């Protein structure tokens, strides 16, 4: 056994913890670039808490998944105002933007040079500026991951800036920030969290630390997600989903993902679909095709027993088998009213291109079994 585990050096979790951000930030810097999502007003309490501790703030808003040019703009702004700290509050886009900006403020050269797939994938050489990540959705786990997903409009693909240096200095998870998430967003982000707990658990790079987080996270998400969707004000369900999301981020950053995320990058780059909704639509089919491929080509593979375990944790039934897990996920997606991928404009005509792109994705390499072109096509066709 050989593994490594790294996460944010400080994780602050709890309802109302947003009020502590000024106190936390004062040890890290004096001038903060505050990266927010569409609704900058959501950051009012954050700004007040920083100003209370005499930390100067410069605001930068991102309106959708960040493009390379968006990050460059934010870096220029932060340099011109001599920011020495970056704080992000928002969903995955705001968090990933801040993470990329904090990295580029400390490293010389152009962002493109450091990007995988579309750039030269040069490694970052210096630790990021101090970065505080404050999620307002429960899904991406970006507050504890070491990559930022950026869109390249030119290449119609999503790519990652990735480095251990990019782990946020502080992950501040305040479940209160998710209380007013609308049901559709609760559903898609929550399914991203569940996918990011199942894929690392069965992946080819699983390890015992990640296993523990995944099993507890899957248990929490399976119970809490339908409740948070039906009763948005249910505080306990929101809290459990915030924990599940955090654990999912820690899991994917320290193990790997699989075919669902292998597809999610290329699909997200070509179609305007929420990342979590893409993952949800693919998840049951990837589970089913993985199980069949494992039974055919590697009948003694450990991942088969892991899929049984996932089914038991999802259903709460100690006798459940892998197929029951697939049924559970399919029923959950129906309950959460997540549409199939055809809703976003995907058709059978896109299968060949998407399968080619997905096969090259870094997440695909951690899938428990290498899937054939026919198997990947089947997954996509069934998810339409």
Angstrom distance (rounded) from CA 175 to CA 25: 19
Decide if residue 308 touches Zn ion (CB under 5 A): no
Which region, judged by CB under 5 A, interacts with Zn ion, from 10-18, 90-98, 189-197, 327-335? 189-197
Element (H, E) at 31: strand 31-36
Which region, judged by CB under 5 A, interacts with Zn ion, from 73-81, 184-192, 285-293, 297-305? 184-192
Beta carbons within 8 Å of 93's beta carbon, 6+ residues apart? 37, 62, 64, 65, 66
Q: Nearer Cβ to Zn ion, position 162 or 312?
A: 162
Q: How far is the CB of 21 from Zn ion (least distance, A)?
A: 26
Q: How far is the CB of 252 from Zn ion (least distance, A)?
A: 7
Q: How far is the CB of 18 from Zn ion (least distance, A)?
A: 24
Q: What share of the chain is helix, strand, coil (3-state, %, to 5)?
A: 60, 10, 30
Decide if residue 192 touches Zn ion (CB under 5 A): yes
Angstrom distance (rounded) from CA 20 to CA 12: 9
Closest C-alpha among 96, 122, 58 to residue 268: 96
Q: Nearer Cβ to Zn ion, position 70 or 189?
A: 189
Q: Nearer Cβ to Zn ion, position 278 or 294?
A: 278
Which region, judged by CB under 5 A, interacts with Zn ion, from 180-188, 190-198, 203-211, 352-360? 190-198
Q: Nearer Cβ to Zn ion, position 192 or 240?
A: 192
Q: How far is the CB of 276 from Zn ion (least distance, A)?
A: 7
> Between β-strands 31-36 and 56-61, what pairing exists: parallel, antiparallel or unpaired?
parallel
Decide if residue 288 touches Zn ion (CB under 5 A): no
Q: How far is the CB of 213 from Zn ion (least distance, A)?
A: 15
- Which residue is nearest to Zn ion, using beta carbons? 192
Angstrom distance (rounded) from CA 325 to CA 37: 35
How many CA atoms within 13 Å lie on the side-chain side of 97? 33
- Please report, in angstroms and rounded to a whole number, the separation of the first and last CA atoms in the chain: 40
Q: How far is the CB of 278 from Zn ion (least distance, A)?
A: 9
Q: Nearer Cβ to Zn ion, position 47 or 138?
A: 138
Q: How far is the CB of 263 from Zn ion (least distance, A)?
A: 11
Q: Nearer Cβ to Zn ion, position 192 or 308?
A: 192
Displacement of CA 129 from its chain's centroid (Å): 21
Closest C-alpha among 181, 237, 200, 222 to residue 332: 222
Which region, judged by CB under 5 A, interacts with Zn ion, from 153-161, 165-173, 191-199, 373-381? 191-199
Angstrom distance (rounded) from CA 143 to CA 230: 26
Q: Is 59 helix (H, G, I), strand (E, B) or coil?
A: strand
Which region, judged by CB under 5 A, interacts with Zn ion, from 8-16, 185-193, 326-334, 360-368? 185-193
Q: Nearer Cβ to Zn ion, position 55 or 220?
A: 220
Query: In the complex, which residues of this chain contact Zn ion (CB under 5 A)?
Result: 192
């Amino acid at each position: 056994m050989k593994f490594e585990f790294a996460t944010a050096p400080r994780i602050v979790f709890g309802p109302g913890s947003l009020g502590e951000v000024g106190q936390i930030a004062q040890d890290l810097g004096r001038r903060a670039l505050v990266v927010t999502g569409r609704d900058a007003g959501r950051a009012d309490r954050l700004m007040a808490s920083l100003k209370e501790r005499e930390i100067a703030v410069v605001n930068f808003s991102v309106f959708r998944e960040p493009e390379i040019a968006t990050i460059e703009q934010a870096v220029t702004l932060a340099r011109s105002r001599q920011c020495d700290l970056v704080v992000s509050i928002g969903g995955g886009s705001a968090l990933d933007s801040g993470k990329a900006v904090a990295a580029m403020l400390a490293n010389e050269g152009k962002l493109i040079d450091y990007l995988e797939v579309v750039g030269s994938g040069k490694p970052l050489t210096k630790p990021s500026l101090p970065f505080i990540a404050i999620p307002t959705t429960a899904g991406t786990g970006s507050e504890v991951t070491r990559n930022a997903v950026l869109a390249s409009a030119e290449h119609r693909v999503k790519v990652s800036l990735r480095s251990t240096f990019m782990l946020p200095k502080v992950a501040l998870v305040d479940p209160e920030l998710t209380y007013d998430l609308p049901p559709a967003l609760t559903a898609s982000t929550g399914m991203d969290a569940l996918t990011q707990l199942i894929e690392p658990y069965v992946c080819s790079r699983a390890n015992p630390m990640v296993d523990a987080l995944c099993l507890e996270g899957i248990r929490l998400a399976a119970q809490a997600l339908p409740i948070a969707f039906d009763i948005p004000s249910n505080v306990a369900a929101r809290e459990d989903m915030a924990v599940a999301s955090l654990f999912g981020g820690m899991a994917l950053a320290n193990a790997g993902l699989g075919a669902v995320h292998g597809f999610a990058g290329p699909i997200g780059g070509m179609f305007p679909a929420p990342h979590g909704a893409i993952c949800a639509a693919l998840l049951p089919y990837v589970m089913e095709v993985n199980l069949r491929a494992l039974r055919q080509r590697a009948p003694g593979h450990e991942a088969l027993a892991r899929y049984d375990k996932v089914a038991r944790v999802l259903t709460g039934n100690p006798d459940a088998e892998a197929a029951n897990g697939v049924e559970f996920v399919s029923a959950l997606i129906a309950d959460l009213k997540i549409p199939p991928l055809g809703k976003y404009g995907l058709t059978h005509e896109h299968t060949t291109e998407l399968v080619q792109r997905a096969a090259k994705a870094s997440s695909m390499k951690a899938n428990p079994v290498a899937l054939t072109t026919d198997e990947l096509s089947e997954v996509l066709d069934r998810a339409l």
